[in-house]
């Protein structure tokens, strides 16, 4: 997105502001489907938790994507966006049996990741097909907080507990129609991912009723110039061939599923914030913006990098700034970054703001959540209004204390 367009959107909708480019989302969706074009039956289920705005979900429906959901509320958002229940998979963690029952009654696909709930669900609903989430005990992701396939992870049923799963299936007569894994985010080592694949396929062999195999996602996207990323084309070629061969071995055509979130929406998003103050200390020049980790928590939570540019002065002399927020906590977006000279009132642009950014916002310090804009076919659409003070008070009981 051009800087002039972004500046015009800040002028039109104020700041801070999230902006998403639909054409980038469409390009990433096409890229992954092309990479796995050799697979006869492929299903991409967008991970709603990455960016859950209902207008974005409608865009994915238009692309013929399915969706992966992790809460009953995300299921309801998907239905609101017009998705057929059969195109929704419910992959929660640590939820009650009652929540899974609610999702099942809505007709969506069910994915269960612990033995206790599997047995309870199988006893009550043996005729409802269920997918099982396996923990392969392979750490294929990056930062420890986003790697979920290792032995100490809370996610999934251990691959070593397959005999327990089979006993539950035998005792309840339930129908297992899918096997799922997710090793974590920021996958770089394709060989490691393929080793996990073999573990998953060995699990599939233990059941003769499987219709689909869900490999999760976690593909790494670039966060800076010349950054490393998952080679999705190489993965598509190697995994696609292995999957086709396995389907023949299994004796019927299986569906290959993925549930990408970051891969599809991260690069589409820009976060725009105005500079409130330039503060020179004895050792640092701070650029304080009209936002904080209440709007963009990833740098503080995951040590994530978001490239920052001054779109108000893109050709200015570069200086070093530490970009911080207005929250009454330490909320540093970037330390000692080389940015074109910044003055108060300039607009800073944060890249890779499409995934796990707005969806993790809060009202901390009683601040308003920002607005969201979608650029579709060269037209800007306000897809979420900026919050107001009424929104802060909406669910609070303003009681009279006597």
Q: Are 376 and 22 in contact (CB under 8 A)?
A: yes
Q: Is 177 inside a domain boundary?
A: yes
- pLDDT over threshold 80, residue 124: yes
Report pLDDT for 144.
43
In a shared domain, residues 62 and 46: yes
Q: Is 9 inside a domain boundary?
A: no
Share of the chain above pLDDT 70, in %: 96
Q: Is 6 inside a domain boundary?
A: no
Give the DSSP H or E segment for 77.
helix 72-80
Q: Give phi and psi for 128, each to the nearest 5.
A: -85, 120
Burial class (CB in 10 A: 0-12, 13-18, 19+), 252: exposed
Of 215, 240, 263, the position where a domain reaches its end is: 263
Average pLDDT, the chain: 94
How far is the C-alpha of 95 from the C-alpha of 330, rounded, in Å?
A: 32
Give the residue-averaged pLDDT of 244-264: 96
Give the residue-averaged pLDDT of 41-69: 98
List, for residues 272-295, the tens digit of each pLDDT value.
Answer: 999 999 999 999 999 999 999 999
In a shared domain, residues 273 and 237: no
Q: Which residue, among 216, 219, 221, 218, has the nearest Cα to 258 in the 3D structure? A: 216
Q: Is 121 inside a domain boundary?
A: yes
**What DSSP line would sit under 6-20, residue for residue?**
HHHHHHHH-SSEEEE
In a shared domain, residues 37 and 93: yes
Task: Tell me which residue range forms the domain holding 74.
Answer: 22-263
- The first and second tokens of residue 2, run together, are 């051009």
Report pLDDT for 196.
87
Residue 225's pLDDT band, with cuts at 50, 70 and 90, is: confident
> Domains in the chain: how many in total?
2
Residues belonging to the active site = 328
Q: What is the CATH number of the domain that holds 368?
A: 2.40.37.10
pTM across the whole model:
0.94
How far is the C-alpha of 342 from the C-alpha of 143, rounded, in Å?
A: 31
Q: Is 42 inside a domain boundary?
A: yes
Q: Which residue, among 46, 49, 56, has the nearest Cα to 20 in the 3D structure? A: 56
Q: Is 54 inside a domain boundary?
A: yes
Residue 185's pLDDT band, with cuts at 50, 70 and 90, is: low
Q: Give every CB contact of residue 314 below 8 A, 6+ residues apart in sequence.
A: 3, 340
- pLDDT over threshold 90, residue 141: no
Alpha-carbon distances, residue 399 vs 268, 393, 396, 402 (angstroms)? 44, 12, 9, 10
Q: Is 91 inside a domain boundary?
A: yes
In a shared domain, residues 180 and 64: yes
Give the residue-averaged pLDDT of 351-378: 97
Q: Which residue, among 359, 363, 365, 220, has the nearest Cα to 298 in the 3D structure? A: 359
In a shared domain, residues 150 and 41: yes
List, for residues 13-31, the tens digit of each pLDDT value.
Answer: 999 999 999 999 999 999 9
In a shared domain, residues 312 and 237: no
Q: Is 352 inside a domain boundary?
A: yes
Residue 139's pLDDT band, with cuts at 50, 70 and 90, is: low
Burial class (CB in 10 A: 0-12, 13-18, 19+), 190: middle
């Amino acid at each position: 997105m051009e800087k002039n367009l972004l500046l015009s959107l800040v002028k039109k909708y104020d700041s801070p502001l999230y902006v998403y480019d639909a054409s980038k989302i469409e390009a990433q969706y096409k890229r992954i489907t092309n990479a796995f074009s050799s697979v006869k039956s492929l299903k991409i289920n967008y991970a709603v938790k990455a960016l859950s705005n209902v207008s974005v979900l409608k865009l994915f429906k238009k692309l013929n994507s399915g969706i992966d959901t992790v809460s009953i509320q995300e299921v309801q958002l998907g239905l609101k966006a017009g998705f057929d229940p059969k195109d929704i998979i419910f992959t929660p963690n640590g939820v009650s049996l009652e929540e899974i029952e609610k999702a099942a009654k809505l007709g969506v696909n069910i994915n269960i990741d612990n033995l206790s709930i599997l047995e309870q669900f199988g006893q009550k609903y043996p005729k409802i097909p269920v997918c099982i989430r396996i923990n392969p005990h392979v750490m294929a992701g990056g930062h420890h907080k986003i790697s979920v396939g290792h032995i100490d992870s809370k996610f999934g049923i251990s691959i070593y507990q397959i005999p327990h799963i089979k006993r539950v299936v035998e005792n309840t007569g339930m129908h297992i129609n899918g096997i799922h894994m997710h090793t974590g985010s920021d996958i770089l080592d394709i060989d490691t991912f393929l080793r996990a694949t073999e573990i998953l396929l060995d699990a599939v062999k233990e059941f003769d009723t499987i219709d689909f195999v869900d490999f999760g996602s976690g593909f790494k996207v670039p966060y800076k110039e010349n950054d490393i990323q998952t080679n999705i084309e190489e993965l598509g070629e190697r995994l696609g061939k292995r999957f086709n061969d396995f389907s023949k071995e299994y004796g019927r055509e299986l569906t290959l599923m993925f549930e990408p979130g970051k891969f599809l929406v991260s690069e589409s998003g820009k976060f725009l914030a105005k500079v409130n103050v330039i503060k020179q200390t004895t050792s640092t020049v701070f650029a304080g913006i009209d936002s904080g980790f209440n709007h963009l928590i990833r740098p503080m939570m995951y040590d994530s990098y978001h490239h920052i540019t001054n779109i108000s002065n893109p050709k200015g002399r570069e200086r070093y700034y530490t970009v911080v927020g207005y929250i009454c906590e330490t909320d540093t977006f970037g330390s000692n970054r080389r940015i074109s000279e910044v003055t108060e009132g300039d607009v800073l642009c944060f890249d890779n703001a499409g995934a796990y950014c707005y969806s993790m916002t809060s009202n901390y310090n009683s601040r308003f959540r920002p607005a969201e804009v979608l650029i579709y076919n060269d037209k800007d659409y306000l897809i979420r209004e900026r919050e107001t003070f009424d929104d802060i008070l909406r669910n609070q009981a303003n009681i009279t204390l006597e």
